[in-house]
Copies of this chain bind each other. A is one copy, B any other.
Amino acid sequence: MADDELARTPEPPYYAVIFTSHRTGGDNGYAAMSDRMVALAAAQPGCLGVESARDSGIGITVSYWRDEQSIADWRAHAEHTIARETGRAEWYRDFAVRVAKVERAYGFSA
Protein backbone atom coordinates (compact mmCIF):
# COMPACT_ATOMS: atom_id res chain seq x y z
CA MET A 1 0.00 0.00 0.00
CA ALA A 2 1.00 3.62 -0.46
CA ASP A 3 0.84 4.34 3.26
CA ASP A 4 2.24 7.84 2.81
CA GLU A 5 5.72 6.68 3.82
CA LEU A 6 8.57 7.22 1.41
CA ALA A 7 9.50 4.03 -0.41
CA ARG A 8 12.41 2.19 1.18
CA THR A 9 14.25 1.19 -1.92
CA PRO A 10 17.57 -0.67 -2.05
CA GLU A 11 20.77 0.68 -3.58
CA PRO A 12 20.41 1.42 -7.30
CA PRO A 13 20.18 0.23 -9.97
CA TYR A 14 16.44 -0.55 -10.06
CA TYR A 15 13.52 0.73 -12.12
CA ALA A 16 10.91 3.44 -11.62
CA VAL A 17 7.59 3.68 -13.46
CA ILE A 18 6.42 7.30 -13.38
CA PHE A 19 2.67 7.65 -14.02
CA THR A 20 1.32 11.21 -14.28
CA SER A 21 -2.31 11.98 -15.05
CA HIS A 22 -5.30 14.27 -15.08
CA ARG A 23 -8.61 12.86 -13.91
CA THR A 24 -11.97 13.28 -15.57
CA GLY A 25 -14.71 14.73 -13.33
CA GLY A 26 -16.48 12.59 -10.74
CA ASP A 27 -15.30 9.46 -8.98
CA ASN A 28 -16.95 6.70 -11.04
CA GLY A 29 -15.26 4.04 -8.95
CA TYR A 30 -11.83 5.58 -9.32
CA ALA A 31 -10.83 5.97 -5.66
CA ALA A 32 -11.55 2.35 -4.76
CA MET A 33 -9.78 1.09 -7.87
CA SER A 34 -6.79 3.34 -7.25
CA ASP A 35 -6.35 2.08 -3.68
CA ARG A 36 -6.74 -1.49 -4.88
CA MET A 37 -4.18 -1.10 -7.67
CA VAL A 38 -1.60 0.45 -5.35
CA ALA A 39 -2.04 -2.39 -2.85
CA LEU A 40 -1.93 -5.01 -5.60
CA ALA A 41 1.16 -3.49 -7.22
CA ALA A 42 2.97 -3.31 -3.89
CA ALA A 43 2.30 -7.02 -3.36
CA GLN A 44 3.77 -8.09 -6.73
CA PRO A 45 7.08 -9.93 -6.82
CA GLY A 46 9.84 -7.44 -7.54
CA CYS A 47 7.90 -4.36 -6.42
CA LEU A 48 10.15 -2.22 -4.19
CA GLY A 49 7.58 0.39 -3.18
CA VAL A 50 4.91 2.80 -4.41
CA GLU A 51 4.59 6.56 -3.81
CA SER A 52 1.50 8.50 -4.86
CA ALA A 53 0.19 12.07 -4.56
CA ARG A 54 -2.71 13.88 -6.19
CA ASP A 55 -3.72 17.50 -5.73
CA SER A 56 -6.10 19.81 -7.58
CA GLY A 57 -3.79 19.75 -10.61
CA ILE A 58 -2.20 16.46 -11.52
CA GLY A 59 -1.65 13.07 -9.95
CA ILE A 60 1.74 11.39 -9.78
CA THR A 61 2.33 7.76 -8.87
CA VAL A 62 5.84 6.34 -8.91
CA SER A 63 6.31 2.60 -8.46
CA TYR A 64 9.75 1.05 -8.03
CA TRP A 65 10.71 -2.35 -9.41
CA ARG A 66 13.62 -4.73 -9.15
CA ASP A 67 13.89 -5.31 -12.89
CA GLU A 68 12.14 -5.02 -16.24
CA GLN A 69 10.61 -8.48 -15.92
CA SER A 70 8.76 -7.45 -12.76
CA ILE A 71 7.29 -4.48 -14.63
CA ALA A 72 6.23 -6.69 -17.53
CA ASP A 73 4.61 -9.21 -15.18
CA TRP A 74 2.63 -6.46 -13.43
CA ARG A 75 1.57 -5.06 -16.78
CA ALA A 76 0.19 -8.48 -17.72
CA HIS A 77 -1.72 -8.91 -14.44
CA ALA A 78 -5.39 -9.50 -15.31
CA GLU A 79 -6.91 -7.12 -12.78
CA HIS A 80 -4.41 -4.41 -13.70
CA THR A 81 -5.22 -4.84 -17.36
CA ILE A 82 -8.93 -4.31 -16.67
CA ALA A 83 -8.15 -1.22 -14.57
CA ARG A 84 -6.02 0.24 -17.36
CA GLU A 85 -8.80 -0.26 -19.88
CA THR A 86 -11.33 1.39 -17.57
CA GLY A 87 -8.84 4.20 -16.97
CA ARG A 88 -8.70 5.05 -20.65
CA ALA A 89 -12.48 4.78 -21.01
CA GLU A 90 -13.58 6.57 -17.84
CA TRP A 91 -11.10 7.92 -15.33
CA TYR A 92 -8.36 9.79 -17.14
CA ARG A 93 -8.43 12.84 -19.34
CA ASP A 94 -4.82 12.17 -20.16
CA PHE A 95 -1.82 10.38 -18.75
CA ALA A 96 1.83 9.65 -19.37
CA VAL A 97 3.87 6.59 -18.40
CA ARG A 98 7.65 6.72 -18.26
CA VAL A 99 9.86 3.75 -17.47
CA ALA A 100 13.24 4.79 -16.10
CA LYS A 101 16.31 3.12 -14.66
CA VAL A 102 17.30 4.66 -11.32
CA GLU A 103 21.05 5.22 -11.41
CA ARG A 104 21.64 6.97 -8.08
CA ALA A 105 19.66 8.01 -5.05
CA TYR A 106 20.10 9.80 -1.75
CA GLY A 107 17.89 10.87 1.09
CA PHE A 108 17.51 13.05 4.14
CA SER A 109 15.74 12.55 7.44
CA ALA A 110 15.52 15.31 10.03
Given known pairs A20-B6, A22-B6, the reply for A92 and B104 (CB within 8 Å) is no
**CB of A76 within 8 Å of the partner chain:** no
Within 8 A of B (CB), among A66-110: 88, 92-110
Q: Are A99 and B105 in contact (CB under 8 A)?
A: yes
Q: In the complex, what residues of B have CB within 8 A of residue A107's CB?
A: 94-97
Q: Are A18 and B95 in contact (CB under 8 A)?
A: no
Known: A52-B58, A55-B55. 13 other contacts (CB 8 A): A4-B57, A4-B58, A6-B21, A6-B94, A6-B96, A53-B54, A53-B55, A53-B58, A62-B62, A94-B109, A96-B107, A97-B106, A101-B101
On A, residues with C-beta under 8 Å from B are 2, 4-7, 9, 12, 16, 18, 20-22, 24, 51-60, 62, 88, 92-110
Pull 13 A–B residue pairs with CB atoms less than 8 Å apart, ordered by A: A4-B56, A6-B58, A7-B20, A20-B62, A53-B55, A55-B55, A62-B62, A88-B110, A94-B107, A96-B107, A96-B108, A97-B105, A100-B102
